[in-house]
């Protein structure tokens, strides 16, 4: 770890607006980013409140309200999507409807998102389902100093604590930097699939 101090805490609902901002900076041109800061802020407020999700925030201890980076994950993508699409839908609908009104093409891509939990299993999956890393983002000016490594190590330790045997992550095939990052943190390539017309790679880290 180089540079200033970094502390890890649980990812909390109060980090939501900053997490949305880092998501947009870290994933330009992707579907979730195209939903805009309002929808993403609702998503990142919901995730830490869900029993199916958890995450870690990297903060400067002198300025704990500002995120240097974060990682989020779910113990069950299917259960999380079901919760967001039912019990939590009232929070999402107003900003989603405003976004779709401005860009109707996004509605079709949102429908594809509902199918995502069925798209990313690995061949031969039969045991307990793996957890899934949903997003990891580090403030652009802070990249390359080990914050991502701290976040992924904390996530893997938490998965082991919960007796989760494997952690999956889906990464855009064009995101070579992130694939290199996952490769150095125990993830191996499983297969590719298509989402929103883009090639995606599924990586898996075995934790047992
Ligand atoms: C991927 C990411 C989280 C890594 O965080 P980080 O704090 O820079 O990671 P570390 O300092 O622990 O490790 C650096 C490694 O990350 C990778 N990396 C990917 N993009 C990078 C970038 N823009 N700058 C520096 N490293 C990057 C490299 O493999 C680098 O290893 P190297 O020095 O051997 O090349 C961060 O670069 C990021 O936020 N990227 C944009 C968002 C993204 O693509 N997230 C993953 C998909 S959900």
Which ligand 1 atom sits closest to the C-alpha of 138?
39
Mutate to test the pocket of ligand 1, among 56, 148, 202 (most ligand atoms within 8 A of CB): 148
Query: What is the whole-number distance in angstroms between the Cα of residue 20 and the centre of ligand 1?
Result: 18
**Whether the model pTM is above 0.95:** no
In a domain, 55, yes or no: yes
**Average pLDDT estimate for 2-8:** 82
In a domain, 2, yes or no: no
The domain total for the chain is 1
pLDDT above 60 for 53: yes
pLDDT above 70 for 61: yes
Exposed (0-12), middle (13-18) or buried (19+): which is 161, by Cβ within 10 Å?
Answer: exposed
In a domain, 28, yes or no: yes
The answer to whether the CB of 85 falls within 8 A of the CB of 114 is: yes
CB atoms closer than 10 angstroms to residue 56: 22
* High-pLDDT (> 90) share of the chain, %: 67
Report the SS3 class of residue 145.
Answer: coil
The answer to whether the CB of 54 falls within 8 A of the CB of 48 is: yes
Report the SS3 class of residue 178.
Answer: helix
Q: Which residue's CA lies nearest to atom 20 of ligand 1?
A: 177
In a domain, 156, yes or no: yes
In a domain, 193, yes or no: yes
Helix intervals (H) in 66-137: 77-85, 89-102, 105-115
Mutate to test the pocket of ligand 1, among 138, 146, 154, 184 (most ligand atoms within 8 A of CB): 138
Least confident segment among 18-27, 74-83, 167-176 = 74-83
Query: What is the whole-number distance in angstroms between the Cα of residue 191 and the centre of ligand 1?
Result: 21
In a domain, 187, yes or no: yes
Show the ligand 1 pocket: residues with CB < 6 angstroms.
26-27, 135-138, 143-149, 171, 175, 177-178, 180-181
Q: Which residues contact 167 (CB under 8 A, 6 or more apart)?
A: 73, 130, 131, 132, 133, 155, 156, 159, 187, 204, 205, 207
- Residue 170 sits in a domain of what CATH number? 3.40.630.30
Helices 77-85 and 89-102 meet at what angle, rounded to 10?
80
In a domain, 1, yes or no: no
Q: What is the pLDDT of residues 100-137, one digit of tens each?
A: 888 888 877 777 777 777 666 666 666 668 999 999 99
- Give the residue numbers spanning the domain of 112: 7-206
In a domain, 94, yes or no: yes
What is the reported pLDDT for 112?
Answer: 73
Residue 103 is given by DSSP the state -
Query: What is the whole-number distance in angstroms between the Cα of residue 154 and the centre of ligand 1?
Result: 16
Does residue 84 or residue 181 have the better pLDDT?
181
The mean pLDDT of the chain is: 90
Query: What is the whole-number distance in angstroms between the Cα of residue 92 and the centre of ligand 1?
Result: 30
**Average pLDDT estimate for 127-153:** 94
Confidence of residue 2 (pLDDT cuts 50, 70, 90): low
* High-pLDDT (> 70) share of the chain, %: 92
Query: What is the whole-number distance in angstroms between the Cα of residue 63 and the centre of ligand 1?
Result: 23
What is the reported pLDDT for 127?
Answer: 63
What is the reported pLDDT for 206?
Answer: 96
What is the reported pLDDT for 31?
Answer: 87
- Beta strands at 63-74 and 166-172: parallel, antiparallel or unpaired: unpaired
């Amino acid at each position: 770890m180089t540079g200033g101090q970094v502390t890890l805490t649980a990812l909390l609902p109060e980090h939501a607006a900053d997490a949305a901002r880092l998501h947009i900076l870290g994933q330009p041109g992707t579907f979730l980013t195209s939903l805009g800061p309002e929808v993403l802020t609702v998503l990142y407020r919901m995730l830490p409140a869900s029993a199916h999700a958890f995450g870690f925030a990297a903060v400067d201890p002198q300025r704990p309200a500002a995120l240097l980076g974060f990682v989020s994950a779910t113990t069950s993508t299917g259960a999380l999507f079901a919760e967001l699409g039912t019990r939590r839908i009232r929070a999402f609908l107003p900003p989603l409807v405003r976004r779709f009104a401005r860009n109707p093409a996004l509605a079709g891509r949102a429908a594809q998102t509902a199918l995502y939990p069925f798209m990313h299993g690995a061949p031969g999956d039969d045991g307990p389902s793996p957890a899934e890393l949903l997003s990891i983002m580090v403030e652009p000016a802070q990249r390359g100093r080990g914050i991502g490594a701290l976040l992924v190590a904390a996530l893997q330790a938490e998965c082991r604590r919960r007796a989760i045997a494997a952690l999956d992550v889906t990464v855009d095939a064009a995101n070579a930097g992130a694939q290199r990052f996952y490769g150095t943190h125990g993830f191996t390539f499983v297969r590719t699939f298509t989402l929103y017309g883009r090639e995606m790679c599924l990586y898996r880290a075995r934790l047992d």
